[in-house]
Structure 1
Amino acid sequence: ASGLVEPLVFAEGNWSLGTEVDSTCPGHPGTMRVKKTGQYPLPQPLQNPISLLTGHGNQEQTQPCPVTIVFDETFTRTGD
């Protein structure tokens, strides 16, 4: 969803994502649960600052719009 904050946590050489939120499904009454997980390893060779951070993960949604999505994602540093 636009404007949704998805914090990444760093541990053991990886940034990880783990969120669970209630959301709506356009055109359907009620709410659904959206669980999103991802892993984003540090780029090799190491960079300071990190210009690109790439990773992959899963998004699982419950009724009324059940789906499991596997995704690849890239975060790009755009400035200071």
Structure 2
Amino acid sequence: MATRERRLAEFNGAGEPPPGMPVEVLCEDHSGTYQLPFACRYVGGRWQNDEAGIALEATVIGWRLPRVKQTA
């Protein structure tokens, strides 16, 4: 199981993401840390689901630019 520190190091976005840019986010709750399975945007000081436009209820602790998925 990945440690909180290792996961945070993978989500090394500093400050706010570029305006209008969908990003991957790392969230945290009482059970631990987890990556949301959908892209998010930071709009008007709040995180929201990129496709649905719905505000997140999760606590975002890190973000990163989307990773390019490699095929074998």
Larger radius of gyration: 1
Structure with larger RCO (C-alpha < 8 A, sep 6+): 2
User: What is the TM-score when the length of structure 2 is the normalising length?
Assistant: 0.30
State the TM-score, normalized to the length of structure 1: 0.28
Higher helix proportion (structure 1 or 2): 2
Is the strand fraction higher in 1 or 2?
A: 1
